[in-house]
Each structure stands twice: as structure tokens, then as C-alpha cells.
């Protein structure tokens, strides 16, 4: 099993940057697919980015070129660097792990979830 705790959320003006962290404990994340998801009020949870390792990443079209996902296997931390933030990036951001062997942005595939961290981007 993997336990996940997100941090780094907050409020920022449009055009600003934030970095989210997801600390994992339990099993090693070295060979585990992980991802970030977000959910705005009244909307379904959507995939933002997913990773297995360097060179094996997947981004949603809406964040490609602005967000960067990285994984520190030694310290068991997943990062999401978010630049040029837009109001539509606002929502609760969740870290997830173990998509059953698939590099995917589909929330239903992931087995483990954190509690989330809130991002608010003002215009």
C-alpha cells in the first residue's frame, strides 16, 4: 500500500507559479505510476499529469507546456511545478498512485489517493 500526503497549495494571481508536493510512504514508488488530478466545484475529477519515470510522462492538453511533473524516487516525493497559472486551473488537486501498470489520466485506474490540496488562481 501507499499513503499520500499533498502540500503546496494556496492562492495565486493569474500568471503566477506554484509547486505541489506529494509525499509517499509505505511501498516504494520507484516502479509505480503516479499522477496529479484536479477537481473544480461541480465538475468531475480530471487528470492533469502522470508519470512513471523520466521520459515517461503524460500531460493533459490544457496544462502541457505550463506544468512539469517530476518524481524523486529516493525521497518518495512527486512534484508538480505549475507555471503561468490561469483561473481555470483552480480546484482541489489530488495526488494518486498505482494505475495498475498504465500511464493514464483516468482517475478510475488509480488505487491510492491523497486528501488533496486547494489551488485558487485569481484573475
Q: What is the mean pLDDT of the chain?
A: 96
Question: pLDDT tens for residues 57-67?
Answer: 999 999 999 99
Q: If pLDDT is split at 50, 70 and 90, which confidence band does 39 have?
A: very high
Cα angle 6-83-34, degrees, rounded to a multiple of 5: 40
pLDDT at residue 99 is higher than 90: no
Q: What are 111's three cell numbers?
A: 488505487
pLDDT at 53: 78
Average pLDDT over residues 106-113: 96
- Residue 68 reports pLDDT greater than 80: yes
pLDDT, position 79: 97
Amino acid at each position: 500500500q501507499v499513503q499520500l500526503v499533498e502540500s503546496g497549495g494556496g492562492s495565486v494571481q493569474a500568471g503566477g507559479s506554484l509547486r505541489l508536493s506529494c509525499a509517499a510512504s509505505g511501498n516504494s514508488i520507484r516502479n509505480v505510476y503516479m499522477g496529479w488530478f484536479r477537481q473544480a466545484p461541480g465538475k468531475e475529477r480530471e487528470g492533469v499529469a502522470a508519470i512513471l519515470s523520466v521520459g515517461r510522462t503524460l500531460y493533459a492538453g490544457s496544462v502541457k507546456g505550463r506544468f512539469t511533473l517530476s518524481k524523486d524516487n529516493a525521497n518518495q516525493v512527486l512534484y508538480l511545478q505549475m507555471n503561468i497559472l490561469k483561473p481555470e486551473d483552480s480546484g482541489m488537486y489530488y495526488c494518486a498512485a498505482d494505475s495498475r501498470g498504465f500511464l493514464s489520466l483516468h482517475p478510475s485506474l488509480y488505487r491510492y489517493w491523497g486528501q488533496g490540496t486547494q489551488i485558487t488562481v485569481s484573475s
